[in-house]
Amino acid sequence: MAQSPRSPARSMFGSLVLIAVVIGGGAAAFAYTAGWFSPQRLTPDRMVDAFTPPGGKPPLGHRRNHAKGICFTGVFEANGAGSALSHAQVFTRGQYPALGRFNLGTANPNAPDATVRVRGMGLRISTPDGQEWRTAMINAPVFPVSTPQAFYHLLLASGNKDPNAMKTFATAHPEIAAFGAWARNAPWTGSYAEERFNSLNSFIFTDNSGAEHTVRWSLLPAAQVVPISQDDLAKRGPNFLEQEITERVHGGPLHWTMVVTVANPGDPTADPSRAWPEDRRTVNVGTLTVQQIEPERNGPCRDINFDPTVLPSGIRTSDDPFPAARSSAYAKSYDRRTAETKYYPRTAAEAQP
């Protein structure tokens, strides 16, 4: 081996420094990637934390949002028309088992029904090819804001004690006006059965020829909408909606028509706060039938994450940034609540006082 011109001691010192630099650099790069140097990075943890107002207690054992709800089972019957848009098996004419959950858009599992404006439906449709289509929809026709970052700031503003926080937020995010108008003016109903549930986010359907269609979808209720004032709903009791839907399904199955709306080029596919024009092509792809109400606490929905990015081949996410944000936050909510089952055991008898 060639003799180094440097002294062996200096050479060894240099080698040790080099090793330290390599190891330190590797550790620093890892920490940077993990976000440890980036307190401003919007992480799933920060997003989920924001659902609990400062000083509040998170709903241990429950979903961090849409915490109040009731489960159902039923069937999705595809009429075959959706096959023109997507090669997913779920659109091939036939019947596929469905599992879902009616819910209220609140982080409080005990919120009185009449205090919650947004109602939702989580849905999972399973097909014989082993694939699943999970979606979580709400009754609002548009989402309040354009980006996940704006949604995070909306959560912070709504949990802020400063009376001007929401006004400041609305000035910075004027797109919230459309949602606000719906919240103020749209009629309330006295039943989950009378709600229309909308995907709001856009997704891409791929058909058999490989052609892609950017779409949103909605479930349109077969039940007659009977408007009710918020005050009258409050008088019916804090848990009226669960009792009502249980009785109604007991009397016979409920139906929703699934309608897929196809975007035109140039439509705001990345922004769920903006509706698409009314004249867009729609395709009625089938009917959801709710056959049975299942218990929330120990029912089949309890441990299902209605992650809107669990999609069959033939459906994928679009340029809409929300499904990714929702998926990351829903997973965090799921990881937390499934680790907290002692606070929300499967049987009420096991519950702590």
Residue 148 CB, shortest distance to other proteins, in Å, is 5
Q: Among this protein's residues, is 66 annotated catalytic? A: yes
CB 306 within 8 A of CB 122: yes
Pick the closest to residue 253 from 293, 285, 301, 217 (CA basis): 293
Binding positions for other proteins, 88-147, rule CB under 8 A? 129-132
* Number of neighbours of residue 113 by Cβ within 10 angstroms: 24
Q: Give residue 241's identity as a one-letter amino acid code.
A: L
H helical segments located in 299-350: 322-338
- Structural Rg of the chain based on CA atoms: 24
Binding positions for other proteins, 30-49, rule CB under 8 A? 30, 33-35, 38, 41-44, 47
Say whether residue 178 binds other proteins (CB under 8 A).
no
Contact characters 305-334, other proteins, x per CB under 8 A = x-x-xx-xx--xx---x-xxx-xxx----x
H helical segments located in 108-198: 148-158, 165-172, 176-185
Which pair of tokens denotes residue 204?
Answer: 């891409």
CB 207 within 8 A of CB 87: yes
Say whether residue 181 binds other proteins (CB under 8 A).
no
Contact characters 243-282, other proteins, x per CB under 8 A = ----------------------------------------
Give whichever of 41 and 281 is closer to other proteins, judged by the CB atom: 41
49 contacts: CB under 8 Å, gap ≥ 6: none
Q: Which residues are catalytic?
A: 66
Residues near other proteins (CB under 8 A): 1, 12, 15-16, 18-19, 22-23, 26-27, 29-30, 33-35, 38, 41-44, 47, 129-132, 148, 303-305, 307, 309-310, 312-313, 316-317, 321, 323-325, 327-329, 334-335, 338-339, 341
